Amino acid sequence: MKFNIDDLPVVFPYDRIYPEQWEYMCDLKRTLDASGHCVLEMPSGTGKTVSLLSLIVSYQQFYPTKRKLIYCSRTVPEIEKALAELKRLMAYRIEHAETEEEKENERNFTGLGLTSRKNLCLHPEVSKEKKGRVVDARCRDLTSAAACEKGRANPGSVPLCDWHEGLNELEPGTQLGRGIWTLSDVEQHGREKGLCPYFAIRRMMPFVNVVIYSFHYLLDPKVAEQVSKELSKDSIVVFDEAHNIDNVCIESLSIDLTRPMLDSAARSVSRLGEKIEEIKVTDASKLQDEYAKLVEGLQEADAARDEDAFMSNPVLPDDLLKEAIPGNIRKAEHFVAFLKRFVEYLKTRMRVLHVVAETPLSFLQHLKDITFIERRPLKFCAERLQSLVRTLSLTQLDEYYALQKVASFATLVATYEKVGFLLILEPFETESSTVPNPIFHFTCLDPSLAIKPVFERFSSVVITSGTISPLDMYPKMLQFTPVVQETYAMTLSRNSFLPLIITRGSDQVAISSRFEVRNDPAVVRNFGSILIEYSKIVPDGIVAFFPSYLYMESIVAAWNDMGILNEVWKHKLIFVETPDANETSIALENYRRACDNGRGAILLSVARGKVSEGIDFDHNYGRAVIMFGVPYQYTESRILKARLEYLRDAYRIRESEFLGFDAMRNAAQCVGRVLRGKTDWGLMVFADKRFARSDKRAKLPRWINQYITDTAANLSTDMALVLSKLFMRTISQSSTENQTGISLWTLEDVLKAQEKRKASEIDMGMQAERDEEMDEDEYGDGGLPDEILAEMEVDP
Ligand code: SF4
């Protein structure tokens, strides 16, 4: 259907639209018009992606500025889904364009997605490697500027990648044709034409209208510098499924070093030393050239900072790159000696047997006192290493991985010396361990640091998700001011999901995962009986979530001893999520099989785990989700404690406020897994008395909270079962109600809504005018001049 939002003609690729989709698009348009940022919470399963794409593509096509869309999603399947949606939308737009010229304009619209080499590589041997970083390193050996130069000058002297070579014959911007390319389309095209899909996409990026990739390509400075540097400033940036964006930001600026990593880094440093000695004999001019260039500044030295960069700088801004490299690390052998000293220093620090927490400033001071290493050369460490790797034409770069980490660590610690970071050295893995296994955490405490460049560079950033309540938390944590901040209610002609809060068992004992009572046999038994009873009444799949692996293990062991698992097995099979990704995917596969063949199954999983984040349990794969306990984070973690302290001091976010928010966003994320569309249905059971508290409920997304009735907010197990049975009996009847006009709009309904909106805007405008007049009318005389008032004999 086609309709207008203000002056913008919007093409939506379906005949019907949900009211919340229309509202969402109106708010998006307002954000883009204002060239500002927004936070939007759209209920799960209400077509967020298609609404986003429809509005933004319409915007791009209508206005001559042709702003680029950078759409960030979390996982590869989600990226592929968004690309498929975009492809469908563009096919619809081409089909419904009115003139041939318009059709041609739509056909020229280009969009593609980017993922890692590991997912796209076609090389028969390289693609077999299991680890992403090994694929990257092997690919770099075959495609680095030095290898290509040598291989082309003297064919056969060094191995090159044929798929990469194939690309060089093509003009920039012609590696892929116009139109929308899903990742599998590009892969197939690569196979047919003998072109590398990864580099084809990378080289096409400056020429396309839409790029869809993962958060890291924008937020992680190490990757962003290589991939996203060229993107124009007026691009529209969207972070979809952004409820965990603060954690992604923090991870991208944090580094952990371990003892084995330092040993490996020390070996790499020695190898670098040997290589330098070798090259001094064979080709000393290379080192002299490098030295001369480093005097000019890194930018010059690194003129070839292109797609084959081994590592890029985690933080250095462009202006610093133009500076000369500090004299004491300019010479290759001096730099190697410098690295050696730094690694040795870190090793000595790791010998300490007590926990140390210090600021980067105090770390730098101590480093200087002991080793005379200054902050400035440390800051250039990552870039200097990159230059040396290039000069020495090193291969098998994955072996230098640990050294790369150490260099990034050095650069980060010297750049962020003041606020927002903390160094924590933990000598033992757990409190009870006696054998040291030290970890040096360089941890970022302030998520706004990683996202700051994005807000500064791009005028419109959209932060959106199905569960992003409370909305004001994100602007506070990420330090930005949104122009629109909105959460949408879910319109349904009949409830397709039923949220219930169970606060006590059938024996009236309160249930909770609170530390003091979590292992109380009465609580464990009550949790168990919820599982037994729901396994009896719910068809097909049930997903149960626990706050942590540790807690899940202890509960499952206790359930086994109490005979609860035996009881559950009578009705359904049980599968368990584990920290091992392979084990979990096998469990998931079998869980789905049991749901499909009618045997029915229960999947026991944890909040913040793989299952809770990226896996959908639509239709028969999830008819009920049970959240056992409130998924608070483990508050004894030193990193979390430091972060809480920072949030309190810097942003006035209280500890309890952040922990409550974090627990509820994860709980909402877990229960939201069952509802993936308006035709889907499911039960959402919150089993913990703390969920009934108003402060907790207020943190749930509006679209869930609106359906928690007073009756459903404080139930015992038996009462919850009665309501659940009733709900399932109702939902399994075919609906007699017509959704059209209520939760599904035709074009006519959209037009009506538009009229209504316009009228209310006019009303509001008139009211505002009247208010203004009233403000001016300080004597309450209607603003009439004194002479007239005198004639009218009105007493002012
Ligand atoms: S250039 Fe492409 S195909 Fe060749 S090794 Fe690298 S990623 Fe694989």
Each residue's pLDDT tens digit, 326-377: 778 888 899 999 999 999 999 999 998 899 999 999 999 999 999 999 988 9
**Closest atom of ligand 1 to CA, residue 162:** 4
Residue 546: strand pairing partners? 606
Going by their DSSP bridges, the two strands 210-214 and 69-73 should be labelled as parallel
**CA distance linking residue 89 with residue 1, whole number of Å:** 11
Q: Does ligand 1 come within 6 angstroms of the Cβ of 186?
A: no
Residue pair 439/258 in contact by the 8 Å Cβ criterion: yes
Identify the weakest region by mean pLDDT among 134-138, 413-417, 423-427, 522-526. Answer: 413-417
Output the residue whose Cα is nearest ligand 1's atom 1. 164
Residue 316: is its pLDDT beyond 70?
no
295 domain residue, yes or no = yes
CATH of the domain at 725: 3.40.50.300
**CA distance linking residue 329 with residue 338, whole number of Å:** 7
Specify the number of domains making up the chain: 4
Please state the rounded mean pLDDT for residues 410-418. 86
pLDDT given for residue 310 in this prediction: 53
pLDDT given for residue 758 in this prediction: 83
Enclosing H/E stretch for 282: helix 259-282
**CA distance linking residue 743 with residue 496, whole number of Å:** 12
Please state the rounded mean pLDDT for residues 243-263. 94
CA dihedral 513, 517, 518, 521 (to 10 degrees): -130
Residue 554: is its pLDDT beyond 70?
yes
Q: Does ligand 1 come within 6 angstroms of the Cβ of 606?
A: no
Please state the rounded mean pLDDT for residues 209-226. 88
Going by their DSSP bridges, the two strands 573-576 and 541-546 should be labelled as unpaired
Residues 94, 7, single domain; the answer is: yes
Please state the rounded mean pLDDT for residues 748-763. 84
**CA distance linking residue 530 with residue 505, whole number of Å:** 8
**CA distance linking residue 330 with residue 478, whole number of Å:** 38
**CA distance linking residue 729 with residue 722, whole number of Å:** 11
Q: Does ligand 1 come within 6 angstroms of the Cβ of 142?
A: yes
Q: How far apart are the first and last CA of the chain?
A: 58
499 φ, ψ to 5°? -85, 135
Please state the rounded mean pLDDT for residues 591-615. 91
Residue 517: is its pLDDT beyond 80?
yes
pLDDT given for residue 186 in this prediction: 96
365 φ, ψ to 5°? -65, -45
CB atoms within 10 A of CB 152: 13
Q: Which amino acid is at 430?
A: T
Residues 149, 246, single domain; the answer is: yes
pLDDT given for residue 286 in this prediction: 81
Residue pair 489/668 in contact by the 8 Å Cβ criterion: no
Residue pair 42/20 in contact by the 8 Å Cβ criterion: yes
Residue 683: is its pLDDT beyond 60?
yes
Residue 391: is its pLDDT beyond 70?
yes
Say which residue, 762 or 134, is predicted with more confidence. Answer: 134
465 φ, ψ to 5°? -170, 170
Going by their DSSP bridges, the two strands 8-11 and 573-576 should be labelled as unpaired
Going by their DSSP bridges, the two strands 69-73 and 2-5 should be labelled as unpaired
Q: How far is the CA of 143 from the centre of ligand 1 (A)?
A: 8
Residues 233, 302, single domain; the answer is: no
737 domain residue, yes or no = no
pLDDT given for residue 85 in this prediction: 96
Q: Does ligand 1 come within 6 angstroms of the Cβ of 199?
A: yes
Longest pairwise C-alpha distance within the chain: 109
Residues 49, 126, single domain; the answer is: yes
SS3 for 55-92 is HHHHHHHHCCCCCCEEEEECCHHHHHHHHHHHHHHHHH
Q: How far is the CA of 279 from the centre of ligand 1 (A)?
A: 28
Site of tokens 């306990």: 629
Residues 755, 726, single domain; the answer is: no
Residue pair 176/204 in contact by the 8 Å Cβ criterion: yes
pLDDT tens digits, 87-119: 999 999 999 999 999 999 999 999 999 999 999
751 domain residue, yes or no = yes
pLDDT given for residue 479 in this prediction: 93
Q: How far is the CA of 131 from the centre of ligand 1 (A)?
A: 14
Say which residue, 168 or 423, is predicted with more confidence. Answer: 423
pLDDT given for residue 357 in this prediction: 92
Range of the domain at 784: 747-791
Of 397, 415, 433, which one is at a domain's C-terminal end? Answer: 415
439 domain residue, yes or no = no
Residues 475, 401, single domain; the answer is: no
Q: Does ligand 1 come within 6 angstroms of the Cβ of 202?
A: no
Residues 32, 169, single domain; the answer is: yes
Measured on CA atoms in the order 232, 34, 54, 614, is the torsion positive or negative? positive
Q: What is the mean pLDDT of the chain?
A: 88
pLDDT given for residue 551 in this prediction: 94
Residue 704: is its pLDDT beyond 60?
yes
**CA distance linking residue 158 with residue 521, whole number of Å:** 68
In terms of Cβ atoms closer than 10 Å to its own Cβ (0-12, 13-18, 19+), residue 775 is exposed
Site of tokens 């040598």: 150
pLDDT given for residue 82 in this prediction: 95
Q: How far is the CA of 110 from the centre of ligand 1 (A)?
A: 23
Say which residue, 780 or 603, is predicted with more confidence. Answer: 603
Please state the rounded mean pLDDT for residues 526-532. 96
pLDDT given for residue 3 in this prediction: 93
Residue 305: is its pLDDT beyond 60?
no
Please give the structure tokens belonging to residue 182.
Answer: 């899903």
Residues 235, 292, single domain; the answer is: no
Site of tokens 């004001």: 472
Q: Does ligand 1 come within 6 angstroms of the Cβ of 148?
A: no
Output the residue whose Cα is nearest ligand 1's atom 6. 139
pLDDT given for residue 713 in this prediction: 93
**CA distance linking residue 109 with residue 113, whole number of Å:** 14
pLDDT given for residue 299 in this prediction: 58
Please give the structure tokens belonging to residue 271.
Answer: 């190898």
Q: Does ligand 1 come within 6 angstroms of the Cβ of 123?
A: yes
Of 487, 508, 533, which one is at a domain's C-terminal end? Answer: 487
Residue pair 83/183 in contact by the 8 Å Cβ criterion: yes
Please state the rounded mean pLDDT for residues 754-759. 85
Q: Does ligand 1 come within 6 angstroms of the Cβ of 126?
A: yes
Q: pLDDT class for 793, splitting at 50, 70, 90?
A: very low
How would you label 314-324 residue by residue, b for 16+ Cβ within 10 Å and e otherwise?
Answer: bbbeeebbeee
Greatest mean pLDDT among 52-56, 420-424, 489-493 lies in 52-56
**CA distance linking residue 679 with residue 734, whole number of Å:** 11
**Closest atom of ligand 1 to CA, residue 143:** 1
Residues 245, 259, single domain; the answer is: no
87 domain residue, yes or no = yes
**CA distance linking residue 560 with residue 558, whole number of Å:** 5
With pLDDT > 70 as the criterion, what percentage of the chain qualifies?
Answer: 92
Residue 784: is its pLDDT beyond 90?
no
Please give the structure tokens belonging to residue 670.
Answer: 């877990």
Q: CA 323 → CA 2, 295, 380, distances in Å?
A: 54, 8, 10
pLDDT tens digits, 1-38: 999 998 899 999 999 999 999 999 999 999 999 999 99
Output the residue whose Cα is nearest ligand 1's atom 7. 121
Site of tokens 């007590």: 354
Q: Does ligand 1 come within 6 angstroms of the Cβ of 134?
A: no
492 domain residue, yes or no = no
**Closest atom of ligand 1 to CA, residue 142:** 5
Say which residue, 75 or 71, is predicted with more confidence. Answer: 71
CB atoms within 10 A of CB 567: 17
**CA distance linking residue 676 with residue 183, whole number of Å:** 23
pLDDT given for residue 145 in this prediction: 83
**CA distance linking residue 679 with residue 673, whole number of Å:** 14
Residue 776: is its pLDDT beyond 70?
no
Residue of 196, 307, 395 to test ligand 1 pocket, by largest number of atoms within 8 Å of CB = 196
Q: How far is the CA of 117 from the centre of ligand 1 (A)?
A: 7
**CA distance linking residue 57 with residue 94, whole number of Å:** 13
How would you label 233-255 residue by residue, b for 16+ Cβ within 10 Å and e otherwise?
Answer: eebbbbbbbbbbbbebbbbbbbb
Enclosing H/E stretch for 408: helix 401-415
pLDDT given for residue 369 in this prediction: 94
pLDDT given for residue 441 in this prediction: 94
Residues 722, 757, single domain; the answer is: no
Residue pair 525/511 in contact by the 8 Å Cβ criterion: no
Residues 477, 504, single domain; the answer is: no
Q: pLDDT class for 794, splitting at 50, 70, 90?
A: very low
718 domain residue, yes or no = yes
425 domain residue, yes or no = no
Edge-first strand order for the sheet with 255-258 is 255-258, 439-444, 421-426, 356-358
Output the residue whose Cα is nearest ligand 1's atom 2. 196
CB atoms within 10 A of CB 411: 25
| pTM confidence score | 0.89
Say which residue, 680 or 305, is predicted with more confidence. Answer: 680
pLDDT given for residue 773 in this prediction: 62
Of 487, 509, 534, which one is at a domain's C-terminal end? Answer: 487
Q: Does ligand 1 come within 6 angstroms of the Cβ of 665?
A: no
CA atoms within 13 A on the CB side of 463: 31
Residues 481, 523, single domain; the answer is: no
pLDDT given for residue 780 in this prediction: 53
User: What is the secondary structure of 433-485 as a DSSP string?
Assistant: --S---EEEEEE--THHHHHHHHHH-SEEEEEES---STTHHHHHHT--EEEE
**CA distance linking residue 133 with residue 110, whole number of Å:** 30
CB atoms within 10 A of CB 688: 26
**CA distance linking residue 138 with residue 264, whole number of Å:** 19
pLDDT given for residue 312 in this prediction: 54
